[in-house]
Chain A
Amino acid sequence: DGGITQSPKYLFRKEGQNVTLSCEQNLNHDAMYWYRQDPGQGLRLIYYSQIVNDFQKGDIAEGYSVSREKKESFPLTVTSAQKNPTAFYLCASSGRTEQFFGPGTRLTVL
């Protein structure tokens, strides 16, 4: 089946630790995206990549980093510099039509 996978579904980390969220797609899409969702805030764009080895900051990139070494993979690292990392993180990919979303990862920083 074609789709987007994010792992794990739930993730807990201690404050001050970096954590990497996984996103893999087998849709052969060039573009991939990372969003975070907070209650009442909708979806806010963190980073996006339109092609391998290239990525751009979104609206709320501070405290996050990404890499795009393979077309299928777009991991997101939440660093200790992110002041409020607890959120629901969504990965998406797109070809020439709409974006398709993964199931999300709920990150809780204790």
Chain B
Amino acid sequence: DQQVKQNSPSLSVQEGRISILNCDYTNSMFDYFLWYKKYPAEGPTFLISISSIKDKNEDGRFTVFLNKSAKHLSLHIVPSQPGDSAVYFCAASERSGGSNYKLTFGKGTLLTVNP
């Protein structure tokens, strides 16, 4: 059973517009959420995270929103740039249980930003 779901395998947007990537989770014990960006044949790189005590976290062009009641989070990229084209993974963990930082990943969304 998939605990972290990214239901859109791909997304295409125009340069300068907003990209919105969505993620849903089923495990109510998840209390920390992360977004990673991955280029082909490379390791993922950390983008931004959010704790369950917050509903928004912003870092430059990237903003993550968390709706705990809906078990939904989204990553907004504004403005989108061609260099943002990559696979984006949503990940979640149960941090309140101690030092276990094991992550559960979604299957990823391929973002293509067209010039």
* A→B interface (CB under 8 Å): 4, 6, 30-31, 33, 35, 40-45, 48, 50, 58, 88, 90, 92, 94, 96-104, 106
Contacts and interface: CB of A to CB of B under 8 A. Distances in A.
Contact of B105 (A43, A48, A94): A43
A45 B9 contact: no
Main secondary structure of the interface of B (DSSP, over half): loop
Contacts of A94: 101
B41 A42 contact: no
Nearest to A103: B43
A6 B42 CA distance: 11
26 contacts: A30-B99, A31-B99, A31-B101, A33-B102, A33-B103, A35-B105, A40-B9, A40-B107, A42-B89, A42-B106, A42-B107, A43-B44, A43-B89, A43-B105, A50-B100, A58-B102, A88-B41, A92-B43, A94-B101, A96-B101, A97-B49, A98-B34, A98-B49, A99-B46, A99-B103, A104-B41
A42 B46 CA distance: 15
B43 A42 contact: no
Nearest to B106: A42
Nearest to A88: B41
Main secondary structure of the interface of A (DSSP, over half): strand
Contacts of B43: 4, 6, 90, 92, 101-104
Contacts of B45: 101
A96 B93 CA distance: 12
A94 B46 CA distance: 12
A6 B41 CA distance: 13
B63 to A, nearest CB: 17
A92 B44 CA distance: 9
